[in-house]
Amino acid sequence: MTAGPLAGIRVVELGGIGPAPFCGMLLADLGAEVVRIDRPGEAGRASPHPVILRGRSSVALDLKAPEGAEAARKLIARSDAVVEGFRPGVAERLGLGPDVLLAADPALVYGRMTGWGQDGPLAQEPGHDINYIAVAGALHTIGAADGDPVAPLNLVGDFGGGGMLLALGLVSALLHARATGVGQVVDAAMTDGTALLLAMTYGFLAQGAWQDRRGANVLDGGAPFYAVYRCADDRHIAVGAIEPQFYAALLHVLGLDTDERFARQRDRSNWPAMKAELTRIFATRTRDDWAERFEGQGACVSPVLSLTEAPEHPHNTARATFRRGPHGGHEPAPAPRFTATPPGDPAPAPPVGADTVRVLTALAGLTPEDVDTLREKGIVG
């Protein structure tokens, strides 16, 4: 990709899965040149993640070998930023820690992506998204009042509180480095990012406007006017009629304008009866029937679309929110939108190691003979 607001920025991504590659995808989508270092044993294979690894170059290089780590250092020395998602201390043991790399290039931005952060009692513990959002308080808030907490895929920790936060941190540090010539380490932890996503919720809690239990609040499904309802065809409709005018429109479409049970929207004592009646009503028609009835009514009511349905929705097609990927399926298009520097279409995720020779010779300064020697030793794929 040659277009986008980050054109001219080069980022080296040290392998990994999940949030760090998501950060790399965001940067590549917006025009940065992202070079991913993969393991040589995987060279030649199709990309294991065809969407999240789009828009990069791929180098197959053994970072555990001293010669491989040295080649990586040469590549990073000619780059603006590096991203790694190892446990604390692993990059240092590889000779690729921030002290070494920043000593060679004081303007380098060094992004670190972990679940627990670089320090603290849990820093060396393994974990996944569900663990990080559990300790940050988010998992406790998601689910029905009479049920267990529900894992929201890995959207909150890995991607929202992880990769997207790291991308913001890297761009911020790159702006500082461009202005001052001073690089730095960006320590992005998914626990920190998840807590940050709870800023408004903690604000409500501090004001006494949030009950610290599931399904008891306006925004967690506790309110009958902000909830999901099952329809006659076992599909669902989403209701978000919080403000009075939207609530009035909801009641009008449902024929409940004069029903005394719905006269006091914020009366929590009446919420169970209101929800029971809405549950009964929405179960009388199909999802698409309800969607048609609410279209254009300003009631904040929407059909709950599946992953395969969402790309075909008229609004998403009009805005090209999704694109048809080279793998044959749909994938999200780059976002947000830019008026002066719109990004181009992301390049397909390359096979592992597809760019090894080009990157090591053109960007890292190795000769073809150097690469041949590393290949003979099994250090490059």
Q: How would you class 159 by CB atoms within 10 Å of its CB: exposed for 0-12, middle for 13-18, buried for 19 or more?
A: buried
Domains along the sequence of the chain with CATH: 10-197+322-376 (3.40.50.10540), 218-230+236-303 (3.30.1540.10)
The per-residue pLDDT for range 74-100, each reduced to its tens digit, is 999 999 999 999 999 999 999 999 999
CA 117, CA 122: separation in Å to the nearest integer? Answer: 8
Confidence class for position 327, pLDDT limits 50, 70, 90: confident
Which tokens go with 255?
């024929």
What's the confidence (pLDDT) of residue 1?
Answer: 42
AA identity, residue 156: V
Using the predicted structure, report yes or no on whether residue 2 has a pLDDT greater than 80: no
The per-residue pLDDT for range 282-316, each reduced to its tens digit, is 999 999 999 999 999 999 999 999 999 999 999 99
Using the predicted structure, report yes or no on whether residue 107 has a pLDDT greater than 50: yes
Spell 58-67 as b/e; 16+ CB within 10 A means b: bbbbbbebee
The neighbouring-strand residues paired with 14 are: 37, 84
Mean pLDDT estimate for the chain: 97
Q: Treating both helix axes as pointing N-terminal to C-terminal, what angle do 368-376 and 66-77 enclose, rounded to 10 degrees?
A: 150
Residues known to be catalytic: 128, 158
Using the predicted structure, report yes or no on whether residue 55 has a pLDDT greater than 70: yes
CA 152, CA 19: separation in Å to the nearest integer? Answer: 15
AA identity, residue 259: D
Instruction: Read off the pLDDT of each residue in 347-357 and give the average, rounded to a whole number.
Output: 96
Confidence class for position 244, pLDDT limits 50, 70, 90: very high
What's the confidence (pLDDT) of residue 95?
Answer: 98
The per-residue pLDDT for range 181-239, each reduced to its tens digit, is 999 999 999 999 999 999 999 999 999 999 999 999 999 999 999 999 999 999 999 99
What's the confidence (pLDDT) of residue 328?
Answer: 85
What's the confidence (pLDDT) of residue 77?
Answer: 97
CA 364, CA 377: separation in Å to the nearest integer? Answer: 19
Consecutive H or E run containing 132: helix 129-136
The per-residue pLDDT for range 111-146, each reduced to its tens digit, is 999 999 999 999 999 999 999 999 999 999 999 999
